[in-house]
Amino acid sequence: MELLALPDDGVPRLLLDIGCGSGLSGETITENGHQWIGLDISESMLNVALQNEVEGDLLLGDMGQGLGLRPGVIDGAISISAVQWLCNADKSSHEPRLRLKAFFGSLYRCLARGARAVLQVYPENIAQRELILSYAMRSGFAGGVVVDYPHSTKKRKEYLVLTCGPPSVSSAVPSGKGEDGESCSDDESSGDEENQTVCISDRHRPRKKQKVNKKGKGREWVLRKKDQMRRKGNVVPPDTKYTARKRKARF
């Protein structure tokens, strides 16, 4: 809730809890005076939420297939330990990259401009973290990773803090907390994986792949390949002055 940075004007906001489970996070949202919608893939967990009589609206669905909400209706989104599961192929039809694209694309569309999404994740490695962050950036989000207690094994938590829309001063990525509960400085919140810290990344666009012009194969290469084929016992046309000569285009 702190990382969402909601305006302190007393106006209730509509928040989305992705992977809401039994509604524990939703209860915190209610205590803060906001309304919420919970989405989860587990029907049994949503039944527990109904038994607990949570005040949020509950949706049964797979976030990897898109959220299916109207554009611009959500004022903020949270998720606790759910998004990293999109990197796993639990079914033969699951393609992690397509699922990440569908999730972040639909999340970006349903958020109001300037709204934040704070997603707590537990990536298995650096590659998985970068995969998740890259698809968030491709969908249009600005932001990066915030780490609380980066040098602690038990307390360490990673948050993907994303802003819907172009980056601005107000949407700057906050610092994580240190062992003493104070905010980390820039030096403390960035570093290498060996020290269990994470660099905060700004939005960037993936570079387009450059087309590589393959040079044509020369006569020597063709003759050498034909000799190899002959040694294998294959029938190869005899060498002539026309071998490896470039033919004119036919119209």
Sketch the domain layout of the chain as residue ranges.
Answer: 14-195, 214-246
- pLDDT (tens digit per residue) in 31-62: 999 999 999 999 999 999 999 999 999 999 99
Percent of residues, the chain, with pLDDT higher than 70: 78
Candidate from 57-66, 90-99, 143-152, 174-183 with smallest mean pLDDT: 174-183
State the residue for tokens 């700057």: 172
Average pLDDT over residues 133-154: 87
Residue 201 pLDDT greater than 50, yes or no: no
Distance between CA atoms of 243 and 251, rounded to whole angstroms?
A: 22
Residue 183 pLDDT greater than 60, yes or no: no
DSSP states of 45-111: HHHHHHHTT-SSEEEE--GGG-----TT-EEEEEEES-GGGGGS--STT--HHHHHHHHHHHHHHHE
CATH fold of 14-195 reads: Rossmann fold (3.40.50)
What's this model's pTM, rounded to 2 decimal places? 0.66
- pLDDT (tens digit per residue) in 86-123: 988 777 777 888 999 999 999 999 999 999 999 999 88
